[in-house]
Structure 1
Amino acid sequence: MREGLALLEREGLVHSVWHRGTTVVDVTAQDVEEVYTLRAALDRLAATSAQRNATADQLTELDTLVRAMAQEISGDASGATLLALDIAFHDRIYDAANNRRLVEAWRAVRSQIYLFQLRRIALGHEHYRARVVDEHRELVTLLRADDRETLARRAEEHVDSARCSLLAGLSPSM
């Protein structure tokens, strides 16, 4: 049990205080700014690295994930289902980047991003549903193109869109 709690604390999901116990972290505006600023830099590097290194099979797998997102949207998808596909999409981009240390950096913040995105969905996922397919489809198109700067900019804007949406949903006291 202690090892599990220690892992959750290292991943930034819980906070432990000696003799006071362990609690799940609150999502604060400062946390969102810190994590999403880091994620934007990581996603930029992952996308541009994947553009150089991705195989045809990896790009096809990204297309498949985008199609699955579109199918979920056309049905009565839960935000959690879309989020699972979204995270899988980004996992694949990091894998395609072919940079072990970059993948490790992604894994270090991945759980926090998942938690924050769940919070975003709980606050109302209309914005998420409206943009998730088009933004991911555009990223795949740009991964295939020869315009590194546009890809880098759009990867950062994709993260910034999520950051702004989450911050808008947080109460001013957070």
Structure 2
Amino acid sequence: MTNTPADEVPRWLDEEERRAWLGLVGIMRRLEHALDTQLRDEGLTHFEYGVMAALSESPQRELRMSALAAYAEGSLSRLSQVVTRLERKGYAHRRPDPADGRYTLAALTDEGYEKIVNAAPGHVAEVRRLVFDPLTRAQVKQLSHIGRRILHAIDPDHSDGDRD
């Protein structure tokens, strides 16, 4: 957290920055809920879907828990709770990493893979409806650029493979 020295005047947001900020906050607060609502019929949360999607796109459909936590933008403890729920549903399992027993691998089961494949079309349709359909192609490009810039400001070491 950056502190402003006591003798320095805060740089308040101007009206346009304030509107942009409030819009972004509204998106951050409402989008996750909207996607959770859409996935409810599949018996998944948006976070669970993200974890399963990451596993489904990985070699052998497995990742170290630490890598999966980084991908999912969640803590190891939150991820552990989610993987436990996915294990109870039969969608995932954990095992020691044979390359280094200090690590644990999370793997998507065949049932979990089938679940994510079945859930993906509805999820993508909702993402398209909520995020991409209201935008022009130029705005989508701008959104991509803006997202990368903000992510870089938050985490300069973050690598999405597409730097400006």
- Scaled by the length of structure 1, the TM-score of the pair is 0.30
- Scaled by the length of structure 2, the TM-score of the pair is 0.32
More helix by share: 1
